[in-house]
Amino acid sequence: MVRWFQSFHRPSAVRPVASGGVPEQDLVVPSRLAALRTALARIGTTLDENATCVELTREAVRQVGGTAAVLSLDREAAAEYEAVSGDPALLPDVRWAMAAAQATSALGEAATAISHVGAGRSRPALCVPLNTDGEAYGGLVCARDRAPFTPAEAEFLGVLAERAASHIRHAREHQRVRGIVGNLQRALLAEPGRPHPNLDVAIRYMPVGQSALVGGDWCETVRLHFGRTLLVVGDVMGHGIEAAVDMTAYRSSLRYIASADLPPHRVLRQLDDSASAEPDRRPATCLIARVDPNRGQVTLASAGHLPPAVIDGQGRTSLLPVPVGPPLGTGFGGYEPATYQLDPAQTLVLFTDGLVEHRGEDIDQSLDRLADVVFEPTADVEDVLDTVLAGLDARHAEDDVAVLAAQLHERTLRGDGVGT
């Protein structure tokens, strides 16, 4: 790259003067710099390695004509051209190109140029290394059916290849981190505890888009005494590893606190005390439902979270009002319970705000869209989740989505009159 820029300022014995008294060289240099800036801006527009290679070859053809392709040095399978722009018939034998790419990378050469035989006559070809900061990713191979490539063209292509190699490095690092975070996500979003057999539960988690690798949304179920089950859904502020780590801290605290079999509002109070004692802990919203199948009741408490929905035996949806306290981690406390009857014909749905919220839309309008979803009267918990996710187009949600559906397991009588 340095040599390429130095070529702008090589001394000249003659400095012809253009019209207006401005030396022609002073007019050419800015135009070449502008062309370079424009070309570089077209390469590396995404964090996708394949897209970067396509952008590189297209720009190479735009600048020097002919055909351009990329060879990767780390392919385990047989070498082949990738991201071809132009007529593939102009390209030299791929075995030569691979040998040239390996040689230019190993020797640190700027480019390797040869003439190869194609269509019965000699054709020029050029291999420019895809190197950056000592890392070799392959080569940019260019070929055309006319004059050999000039040193200036080789320098120009070298600058483009170096920029592309830098973006390839970033793309691979992004993929590496994405893989690590994906594994972390699977570990952090481990299966919730098993509810009692008298309760059917289904859970779905959907991260938003491709850029949000891990979020702070979570669901949990905890077995309590006397056949009761605690259902929990929470949403830690933000995205990424930090939110996921705080999410696991809230889940761990919840499991410990729930072991004391406290009512939901007191569980929230202790969670809030624990989180507010850690200044780096992110705030979180949380909704807790304690389901008691023996009494046909559900007791709810909310820490800044949206209310749950209940689907009746006719498939109609309504929201259960719950007193809303402050989010966890604020240290304000002040949570109150609300208890409702729940029968086997009904389905309780807990969810995070990503399921319903749209940017710029009033939250009441968002919740109304949920209430408008119609379900099959005989839908089980899995069918309920399929319907609600499809009905609210959760695949295009603007935030992570975590949703939990629960139904009382209708008990049947055995021949001896004992319930099962």
The secondary structure of 281-295 as a DSSP string is PPPEEEEEEEEETTT
Measured CA to CA in angstroms, residue 415 lies from 198, 222, 412, 418, 420 at distances of: 19, 32, 10, 7, 11
Per the model's pLDDT, the better-predicted residue between 57 and 3 turns out to be 57
C-alpha to C-alpha distance for 34 and 373, rounded to whole angstroms: 55
End-to-end alpha carbon distance in the chain: 77
**Contacts of 205 by beta carbon, 8 Å cutoff, 6+ apart:** 189, 217, 218, 219, 400, 401, 402
Beta bridge partners of 71: 139
| Global pTM value | 0.59
Give 73's pLDDT tier (boundaries 50, 70, 90): confident
Task: Give the pLDDT of residue 21.
Answer: 44
Give 6's pLDDT tier (boundaries 50, 70, 90): very low
Per the model's pLDDT, the better-predicted residue between 414 and 247 turns out to be 247
Q: How many residues does the chain have?
A: 420
C-alpha to C-alpha distance for 193 and 229, rounded to whole angstroms: 10
Mean pLDDT of the chain: 84
C-alpha to C-alpha distance for 76 and 70, rounded to whole angstroms: 15
Task: Give the pLDDT of residue 322.
Answer: 97
DSSP letter at 364 equals H
Instruction: Judge whether residue 188 has pLDDT over 70.
Output: no
Task: Give the pLDDT of residue 95.
Answer: 86
Share of the chain above pLDDT 70, in %: 82
Mean pLDDT over residues 41-46, rounded? 93
Task: Give the pLDDT of residue 16.
Answer: 39
C-alpha to C-alpha distance for 80 and 52, rounded to whole angstroms: 17
Give 416's pLDDT tier (boundaries 50, 70, 90): very low
Could you count the other beta carbons within 10 Å of the beta carbon of residue 74? 8
Task: Give the pLDDT of residue 413.
Answer: 37
Least confident of 100-109, 155-164, 384-393: 100-109
Contact (Cβ atoms closer than 8 angstroms) between residue 130 and residue 138: yes
Least confident of 155-164, 209-218, 374-383: 209-218
Contact (Cβ atoms closer than 8 angstroms) between residue 325 and residue 303: yes
C-alpha to C-alpha distance for 3 and 24, rounded to whole angstroms: 21
